[in-house]
């Protein structure tokens, strides 16, 4: 019994550590893109579009990454998506173009949606009915606490790449694909909970605007004098 509990705790720690590093890298990346976009003379609309690209990718990834996880398994999907997500910051550095940045940020969103699905489904599988609420609350707090030139972009890539290590080395058994054939339908979600879908969409729009435009100095100190 104690051995099983230790295995569960070890699995949870690996998942939460990987998730925390992912969120740290993603938050840092969003801030850097906003600041660097202003340095490159991108307009506020273009910078906002870059931020929106991430959330568009999250929606797309949420709809389609489940199939990838079902096909190759949790660990392989996590490693593949994490590797792609760690490359995206370098694409922003190589191509100084707003459209390219929107696409690269959208790719990051797709990957992170899949990474979130892996972590959340694994946590849900490891939890019991008695501990599920506690585990998910710790998971949410981990994400929030992790959010509090060339070198910064490389740091982002390093952090996201390091997020792959805890889960890649875990000896825990990945969850089974019970109900894995189910598909997410936005229309179906709206029919079940119209207020929930609309509220979640508005929260996403608000959070995107805040985290994308918030780091730009001119929105704090008035118009730029440069």
Q: What is the per-residue pLDDT for 198?
A: 85
Residue 67 counted as domain residue: yes
- Which is more confidently placed, 192 or 147? 192
CATH number for the domain spanning 187: value is 1.20.1250.20
Stretch 123-134: mean pLDDT: 78
Q: What is the per-residue pLDDT for 103?
A: 95
For the ranges 61-70, 165-174, 213-222, the maximum mean pLDDT occurs at 61-70
Residue 177 counted as domain residue: yes
Share of the chain above pLDDT 90, in %: 13
Residue 226 counted as domain residue: no
Neighbours of 119 (CB within 10 A): 23
Q: What is the per-residue pLDDT for 17?
A: 81
- Which is more confidently placed, 12 or 110? 110
Q: What is the per-residue pLDDT for 126?
A: 74
Residue 2 counted as domain residue: no
pLDDT at position 25 over 90: no
Band (pLDDT 50/70/90 cuts) for residue 148 is low
Q: What is the per-residue pLDDT for 219?
A: 47
Q: What is the per-residue pLDDT for 201?
A: 79
Band (pLDDT 50/70/90 cuts) for residue 150 is very low
Residue 72 counted as domain residue: yes
Q: What is the per-residue pLDDT for 174?
A: 66
Average the pLDDT over each of 8-12, 158-162, 173-177, 221-225 and give the range with the smallest value: 221-225
**Residue 96 sits in which domain range?**
11-213
Number of domain units in the chain? 1
Residue 49 counted as domain residue: yes
Give me the long-range contacts of 79-84 (CB less than 8 A, separation at least 24).
Answer: 79/164, 79/167, 79/168, 81/111, 81/112, 81/114, 81/115, 81/118, 82/22, 82/111, 82/115, 82/160, 82/161, 82/163, 82/164, 83/161, 83/164, 84/111
Q: What is the per-residue pLDDT for 111?
A: 93
CB 93 within 8 A of CB 150: yes
Residue 42 counted as domain residue: yes
**What is Dmax (Cα atoms) for the chain?**
65
Q: What is the per-residue pLDDT for 213?
A: 67
Residue 203 counted as domain residue: yes
């Amino acid at each position: 019994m104690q051995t099983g509990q230790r295995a569960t705790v070890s699995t949870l720690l690996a998942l939460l550590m990987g998730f925390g590093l992912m969120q740290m890298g993603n938050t840092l990346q969003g801030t850097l893109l906003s600041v660097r976009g202003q340095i490159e003379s991108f307009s506020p609309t273009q910078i906002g579009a870059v931020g929106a690209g991430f959330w568009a990718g999250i929606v797309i990834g949420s709809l389609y990454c489940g199939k990838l996880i079902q096909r190759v398994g949790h660990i392989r999907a996590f490693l593949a998506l994490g590797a792609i997500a760690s490359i995206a910051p370098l694409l922003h550095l190589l191509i100084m173009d707003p459209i390219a940045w929107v696409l690269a940020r959208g790719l990051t969103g797709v990957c992170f949606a899949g990474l979130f699905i892996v972590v959340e489904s694994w946590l849900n599988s490891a939890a019991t009915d008695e501990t599920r609420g506690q585990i998910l609350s710790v998971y949410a707090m981990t994400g929030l606490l992790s959010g509090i030139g060339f070198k910064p972009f490389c740091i982002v890539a390093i952090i996201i790449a390091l997020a792959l290590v805890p889960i890649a080395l875990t000896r825990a058994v990945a969850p089974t694909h019970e109900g894995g054939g189910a598909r997410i339908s936005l229309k179906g979600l709206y029919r079940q909970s119209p207020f929930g879908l609309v509220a979640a969409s508005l929260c996403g729009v608000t959070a995107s605007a805040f985290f994308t435009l918030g780091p730009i100095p001119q929105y704090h100190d008035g118009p730029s004098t440069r």
